[in-house]
A = this chain, B = another copy of it.
């Protein structure tokens, strides 16, 4: 384990000089620089992370995690928050603090203002589930330009220049759901789709991935109808019931977003034989219950815990070690869950 001190001794310079070379700060005589670099990789120098994060502790890093305010009513986000809080505690033990903020959904102006305030209060980094609006993208670009790293979580936003996105690949999620549907129906089914909202990108992508995969690989599967539930369980219940009554031939249902419980209850109440095969997303408590009751065959999980924890981890690495995320798109894994591996 080589250290800066060793390099300094070998090069016959001070530790400060070595530091300047290795971290490109301040000016150094090109001769010395070359010598130091050469020695550094000759002895395979790797900075000690514990020492690094101890030394920068004086900076008192503060990270903000901005979530939409509907998190409390959406059990999916419970797990995102749990992941974030867990990581926040870990980072606390390294001297970094995390604060949570909730900004009104569908109100880009409010989110922009919050970002602005945080920037002025000297926040060190930001994790955010952004409202998809150009004004938010612009504000994020400003933070980035001011040297404040930003990572998006759960939903991404274009042209924002954020460091990375941590979340689901919605299109692939749709394809995976299609694959599961193909397997459990042996390639023959009439599918009804219950989606969230046509104006939310993630939902439409999940529909697109599903239908495109079916069109390409499953000639025996027809999509016979699509309804929207606006992520509301009651609405979900009624539109699903209407859909099933209007299309008695439906023997499979694909639910792309929230409202799984409402749709599930509608399906259950009709009690069709043979039973309707249902595929949906996320592993919230009501969904677990419906899987156990045999109403839902499978659900696709998108690692909400990771969506909470990883953005904070990336910001920490960037701030204390100067390490950029390996990839711009850090997609969470698409886990297929059935009764037996819940």
Q: List residues of A whose CB falls within 8 A of some B CB.
A: 1, 46-51, 53-54, 57, 92-95, 97, 172, 175-176, 178-180, 183-184, 186, 213, 297-298, 333-341
Contacts and interface: CB of A to CB of B under 8 A. Distances in A.
B57 A175 contact: no
Contact of A94 (B49, B175, B297): B49
A340 B50 contact: no
Given A1-B92, A92-B1, A333-B335, A179 B341 contact: yes
A244 to B, nearest CB: 20
Given A49-B93, A175-B340, 16 more contacts: A1-B92, A49-B94, A50-B50, A50-B53, A51-B54, A176-B340, A178-B340, A179-B339, A180-B340, A183-B183, A184-B184, A186-B186, A333-B335, A333-B341, A334-B341, A336-B336
Contacts of A335: 333, 335-336, 341
A341 B1 contact: no
A179 B336 CA distance: 12
A95 B50 contact: yes
A54 B178 CA distance: 50
A251 to B, nearest CB: 11
Nearest to A48: B95
Contact of A172 (B179, B336, B341): B341
A84 to B, nearest CB: 18
Contacts of A47: 93
Given A183-B183, A183-B297, A298-B183, A341 B49 contact: no
18 contacts: A1-B92, A47-B93, A48-B54, A49-B93, A49-B94, A50-B57, A50-B95, A172-B341, A175-B340, A176-B341, A183-B184, A183-B338, A184-B186, A333-B335, A333-B341, A335-B341, A336-B336, A336-B337
Nearest to A213: B340
A211 to B, nearest CB: 14
A335 B46 CA distance: 35
Contacts of A180: 338, 340
B46 A50 contact: no
B94 A50 contact: yes
Contacts of A184: 183-184, 186
Contacts of A183: 183-184, 297-298, 338
Contact of A336 (B46, B175, B338): B338
A179 B297 CA distance: 10
A240 to B, nearest CB: 22
